[in-house]
Structure 1
């Protein structure tokens, strides 16, 4: 496929390898294997970062972007993800949703503050695991 535009105005799906690489089937296959291995290493690093400190999801999407330079399935996944993130962002910026989230956060903080106040009045500055019944 060429790297022109598709019918929706986006970038066409398919390999973005240089023309001289696409011209040779063995070279193109080697290129795809290399792109897959590098993308897999980046995605694996992102998965490792999920429970550890680090930008796990960002790294995973970076690995997907590497795969998307060569594989149509990854391009479609990234398009879907971008659409979903855009929709979520627009929904989060909706004034009614923002107002509801601010109200819920305020009520939650007041409730937590009241519970902490009750605890401190009852037990003082004693950690819960050192309270004698």
Structure 2
């Protein structure tokens, strides 16, 4: 079964490489492809960076964006390897920390999330649904 999966993976990879070579052979198409990869990768990366402080897959989205960019740009591939290594080191360090450090981390994350929701006006919006009108809940952005 493993041989079959490996063969299917190789066939898919070979098809992809053949397609990529055909695209690369046409300068205009190659430029359009690289621009599209750059735009899509940058958008995914930006969404990931925005999502980092929130519960959920923020770092996974960052790594996906860098992976998309890294498929065409060497600098992004190097950055992906560097960022993943630092992330793994941090998570290993964090796993060995005390409950107090972990609790402070949860508190800091909560403060960041609440603060950004307040600045973006989401807290005032939701409070308005329940008839709560407090000037303190209003976003400083107006």
| Structure number with bigger Rg | 1
Indicate how the Cα distance of structure 1 residues 26 and 43 shifts in structure 2: closer, same or farther if over 3 A, else same. same
Q: Which of 33, 36, 44 is 1:34 aligned to?
A: 36
Indicate how the Cα distance of structure 1 residues 24 and 41 shifts in structure 2: closer, same or farther if over 3 A, else same. same
SS of match in other structure, 1:70 = coil
Give ranges in structure 2 of 5+ residues lacking alignment. 1-16, 102-142
Q: Give the TM-score taking structure 2 as reference length.
A: 0.48
Name 1:56's counterpart in structure 2: 58
Name 1:23's counterpart in structure 2: 25
Name 1:76's counterpart in structure 2: 78
Contact 2:42-2:65 at 8 Å conserved across structures:
yes
SS of match in other structure, 1:32 = helix
Deviations 1:30-50 (A, max 9, x none): 100000111112112223323
Distance of 1:24 and 1:57 partners within structure 2: 35
Distance of 2:49 and 2:84 partners within structure 1: 20
More relative contact order, 1 or 2 (CA 8 Å, 6+ apart): 1
Indicate how the Cα distance of structure 1 residues 86 and 49 shifts in structure 2: closer, same or farther if over 3 A, else same. closer
Name 1:130's counterpart in structure 2: none
1:88 to partner: Cα distance: 4.8
Q: Which runs of 4+ in 1 moved over 6 A?
A: none
Give ranges in structure 1 of 5+ residues lacking alignment. 1-15, 110-133
Indicate how the Cα distance of structure 1 residues 57 and 86 shifts in structure 2: closer, same or farther if over 3 A, else same. closer
Contact 2:63-2:84 at 8 Å conserved across structures:
no
For the aligned residue pairs, the C-alpha RMSD in angstroms reads 3.0
1:76 to partner: Cα distance: 0.8
Q: Give the TM-score taking structure 1 as reference length.
A: 0.50
Between Structure 1 and Structure 2, the one with more helix by share is 2
